[in-house]
Amino acid sequence: MRRTRTLAGIGIAAVALLALTACNSGTPGDTMGDGDDPGTSEEGPLWEVAADVSLEGSPTFDAMTERGKVVIGVKSDQPGLGYEDPATGDRTGFDVDTARWIAASLGFADEDIEWKTIPSANREQELINGGVDFYVGTYSMTEARDEVIDFAGPYFITGQGLLVAADDDSINGPDDLAGKVTCSVTGSTPLQRIREEYNGEVTERQTYSECVEQLLSDQVDAITTDEAILAGYVAQDPDNLKLTGEPFSEERYGVGLVNGDTALQDHINTLFTDGGDVWTALYEKYLEPAGVVAEQPAVD
């Protein structure tokens, strides 16, 4: 069993802070981002759209330049990270804005971005097929994935956790899952770990929001995935949901890239290394209000 303590412990008490800031649309504490222009903070724009960019030796950049737009893979049901408002179609979250920041550094403004929602199970294949130029969506850098695609980063570190009903005191860590039913997502690292290293029944879905529906309707006892993701669901529904236990893995998020595009990989890694202010502004806007505790990691 792995029990690595990560930087990303979650302070559940901080959810109370979200309740305050969530009413305050248009401020940096607004987790859903309603009323904010993407890429802006109270101090103004966080980044400029770069002009006259050239990226020698990047087939991905050549393809997007020829097309005149960039196609980015994201999640759409993970509040605070990758979220699409069903009413307005607005995309918000730490991952989504990180993707906008990368696009801007390559010379592509918001209107030049085509978003594609891709579930966890389809990410590698989508990159291999050229269906997206890059992918930003709670995508853990693992050796197995690294065999078939490349990653820039890490740009964020969290750990696997557990989400249960707010009134459930029977589950306080993964060892308590024996005799319980746990939901996770096909093709994700938390699903694999819970199956291989712990006891209990596991049911899988395509998205974490489907798992949340199952938990709220008492069809499962717990959900497991990264705490940064789970904290977003708790922030939306603190009366019914809570995080339990300590993180029990280290999930290092990277930007998924087509295998071998080292020019684009270097470009994004340099952007992250030089962009501490942007990282902090996005973290304070989207994740800190939900109680996610993290620091900017160094890239590999």
Binding region for ligand GLU (CB under 6 A): 120, 137-140, 185, 188-190, 225-226, 251
C-alpha–C-alpha distance, residues 83 and 33, integer Å: 10
Specify whether the backbone of 102 is left (phi greater than 0), alpha (psi in -120 to 50) or beta.
Answer: alpha
CB of 47 to ligand GLU, least distance (A): 25
Q: Which two tokens stand for residue 184?
A: 């996770």
Q: What angle do CA 248, 250, 255 make, to 5 degrees?
A: 145
Nearer of residues 108 and 198 to ligand GLU, judged by Cβ = 198
Nearer of residues 8 and 15 to ligand GLU, judged by Cβ = 8
CB of 49 to ligand GLU, least distance (A): 28
C-alpha–C-alpha distance, residues 243 and 266, integer Å: 36
Q: Which of 255, 234, 253, 252 is nearest to 243 (CA)?
A: 234
Nearer of residues 39 and 137 to ligand GLU, judged by Cβ = 137
CB of 253 to ligand GLU, least distance (A): 7
Nearer of residues 229 and 293 to ligand GLU, judged by Cβ = 229
Q: Which two tokens stand for residue 215?
A: 């938990």
C-alpha–C-alpha distance, residues 118 and 96, integer Å: 13
Half-sphere exposure at residue 84, Cβ-oriented, CA atoms within 13 angstroms: 11
CB of 186 to ligand GLU, least distance (A): 9
Residue 143: CB partners within 8 Å, gap ≥ 6? none
Nearer of residues 55 and 136 to ligand GLU, judged by Cβ = 136
Nearer of residues 59 and 131 to ligand GLU, judged by Cβ = 131
CB of 66 to ligand GLU, least distance (A): 30
Which residue bears the tokens 């990560």? Answer: 6
CB of 225 to ligand GLU, least distance (A): 5
C-alpha–C-alpha distance, residues 43 and 25, integer Å: 16
C-alpha–C-alpha distance, residues 63 and 40, integer Å: 28
C-alpha–C-alpha distance, residues 160 and 227, integer Å: 6
Task: Write the single-letter amino acid at 26.
Answer: G
CB of 120 to ligand GLU, least distance (A): 4
96 burial via Cβ count (<10 Å: 0-12, 13-18, 19+): buried
CB of 119 to ligand GLU, least distance (A): 8
Neighbours of 220 (CB within 10 A): 23
Nearer of residues 28 and 137 to ligand GLU, judged by Cβ = 137
Nearer of residues 105 and 120 to ligand GLU, judged by Cβ = 120
